[in-house]
Amino acid sequence: MERAVAAYDPDNIFARILRDEIPSDRVYEDDEFVAFRDIAPSAPTHVLVIPRGEAPTGPQAFTTEDEAMLGRMTVTATRIARELGLEEGGYRLVLNNGADAGQTVFHVHMHILGGAPLGPVASTA
């Protein structure tokens, strides 16, 4: 059963951050991505990496045309994690897909989580 992909909302919070309408604590930016600290962190270090412009709404919207961008986003997140000192202790890279996974902003984004031992990947509690 195929799920419908939601249309991109150009007024989502990440689009507004990209337009500097909402402030963010940026730790990295280049021509393609912006990374900033999460305002409600789930770990001592919690950074979000988002692509600039109108991005897929989430993993369910990916097509083969997104492969190169996703690879670059992963490499960029890995570089940021290293620069934040997370490499030795370890870190987690996360993409959420849909409400049941905890996705609240429908502009694809990758979480970098680390800075302390992390709990289980998922819980039904």
Active site residue 109: yes
Give the whole-angstrom CA distance, residue 69 versus residue 78: 14
Question: Helix, strand, or coil here: 45?
Answer: strand
Residues 113, 6, 1, 66, CA torsion sign: negative
Contacts for 56 with CB less than 8 Å, ≥ 6 apart: 8, 62, 63, 66, 108
User: Could you say which of 46, 107, 109, 111 is catalytic?
Assistant: 109
Torsion of CA 111, 89, 23, 60, to 10 degrees: 0
Report, as residue numbers or ranges, the catalytic residues.
Answer: 109
